[in-house]
Amino acid sequence: MKKIISRFFIFTVTTLLFLASVTAASACYFSSYQPEVPEALRK
Amino acid sequence: MSYLAFSKRWAGYLSRKTGLSAEQETILTYVIEVLVLNLMNIVFTLLLGVLLGVLPGTAACLITAILFRHSAGGAHSSSPWRCAAVTIAVFPLLALLGSFFSRLGQGFADVLSVGALGVGMTTVVLLAPVDSPAAPIISPLRRRKLKIISIALMVLVTIIVLLLRESRWQYAGMIQSCIALTLLWVSFMLTGWGHKLMSFVDKILKKRKEV
């Protein structure tokens, strides 16, 4: 059970980091508030 | 970097569970904030659309705005809550207006669409992409790519408007007007006037909070 939960967390984090790199390529998002983009994503 | 408390807490929790570096945790905080705020804005905008009885129009406005903001960018608010207030109010109102205009006949919808497509193409060619200090577009290559995508989207929207014009679907006229009005709004947000409006909204709501 612990292994499954651990894999779930790793999957969630990997998906979110992938989404971050994909979305960083856009000019902005739908809403008119833009949080500060981390330096690592600006490159 | 300043992020909201909930995104820091969620990212911290996930980071502890998976042993991420500090840099990756910051990226996680950023993406959680972006996803949650955008999702909240979309849900509440659609809910107001349902309450006002203009859900299809509101959805059309949202899809058009999402398509263009992604590549063309535009003016931003300095607070997520003021941004939410503007977003949740504007799109259902545009849908209401679109619903009203669609009752004025096909001729009016056509004039509105041609005007909006003309204004949209001009602002996109001249101004897009418009970035913000929080998310600057550093690479000239990326800037060029975003401009090309914005122009391609304008062509796509023109085709969709033409198809809607010929369609017999009951909502076609209303959605045509909603797309045209959203194009005008998104184009306005690319201009200096749009930036002035957002900073004006920021000032009004800030003052009210301080009082």
Model pLDDT, residue B1? 66
Helices (H) and strands (E) counted in chain A, each on its own, are 2, 0
Read off φ and ψ for residue B132, nearest 5 degrees: -125, 160
**pLDDT < 70: residue spans in chain B:** 1, 205-211
How close, in Å, is residue B155 to chain A by CA atoms? 19
- More confident of the two residues A43 and B192: B192
Model pLDDT, residue B44? 94
**What separation in angstroms does the CA of A6 have from each of A2, B7, B18, B118, B193?**
6, 20, 8, 53, 50
Q: pTM of the prediction?
A: 0.85
Under an 8 A CB cutoff, do A9 and B23 touch? no
Interface membership of A37 toward B (CB under 8 Å): yes
Model pLDDT, residue B175? 94
Interface test with A, best of B15, B21, B34, B147 (most A CBs within 10 A): B34
Model pLDDT, residue B113? 94
Q: What is the pLDDT of residues B158-186, one digit of tens each?
A: 999 999 999 988 889 999 999 999 999 99
Number of Cβ pairs closer than 8 Å across A and B? 128
In chain B, where are the structural domains located? 1-52, 54-207
Q: What is the pLDDT of residues A1-40, one digit of tens each?
A: 878 888 888 999 899 988 888 777 776 766 667 778 887 7
How close, in Å, is residue B75 to chain A by CA atoms? 7
